[in-house]
Amino acid sequence: MTDHSAVSPVASGLHTTGHHDLSPPLAGTILHGVTVRPPALHYDGIDWRSAQLHHIDTTAALQVPGVTLVVVRGNFIGIIASQLTQARHASAQLTVQWETPAAPQDTTMNGKALIADKPGANAVAQTYQWSPSACSSAAWAIARHESSGLTVWADTRYPDRLRAEIAALCALPLDAIRLLPTGTTGAEAYDAAVDAALMAAECKRAVKVVDDAPFAPTPLALPCRPTAHPPAQTAPSPRLQKR
């Protein structure tokens, strides 16, 4: 459950804006966005890897009534439309070709061997696979473009990290990102917030993104290989790989 008390004025950016309108935009003024993600996301013990966008044809998608824009940035594809059903229909009209990267050949991490190489070492490799946990409600976020930056309505356990990531991806200063809670419980809206922010920054309008069952992420797989001296390192964020 999201702890709204953790979203402090400093973390949300409220202290820098002087803006007292905390309500989300009216429904009639909001566009709706749908994200098309790479078919798989894989962590190989060193880095996050995903299929790379090779070719996209947006002609048919742009002809769907209500569609205003198709955003393509690296591996990120976002469809913006007047209605959510229109955006979803347009996403099915895209012609997208992905290239799956070759498996990494390097077996070192920062110059250190990943596989235990001492004689007699009991090295056993395992692969763990899991699916994202189901939420009691769909995660959603709204991002609104303003002359001073972006205002984002989203519930997340990581407000500081979310603001920093949106600022980096949208090439904006940190104090130009304002984060406000929505009151939704039981759902983590981090991904929806970043997707909405990217699309709002492109179309200069308010955009809502909903993460629900039809567009849930695929299971992740993590190969675990023993090391003689495991490095004290956490997994890097997959966000830039996805974008």
Positive or negative torsion for Cα 43, 141, 135, 164? positive
- d(CA 86, CA 80) in angstroms, rounded, equals 9
Question: Which pLDDT tens digits describe the chain residue by residue (243 residues)?
Answer: 444 444 444 445 543 334 456 788 888 889 999 999 888 777 777 777 888 999 999 999 999 999 999 999 989 999 999 999 999 999 999 999 999 876 655 544 444 444 444 555 555 555 555 555 555 578 899 999 999 899 999 999 999 999 999 999 999 999 999 999 988 777 899 999 999 999 999 999 999 999 864 444 455 555 555 544 444 444 444 444 444
- Angle formed by the axes of helices 159-169 and 190-203, nearest 10°: 30
Neighbours of 196 (CB within 10 A): 32
C-alpha to C-alpha distance for 219 and 132, rounded to whole angstroms:
7
pTM over 0.75: no
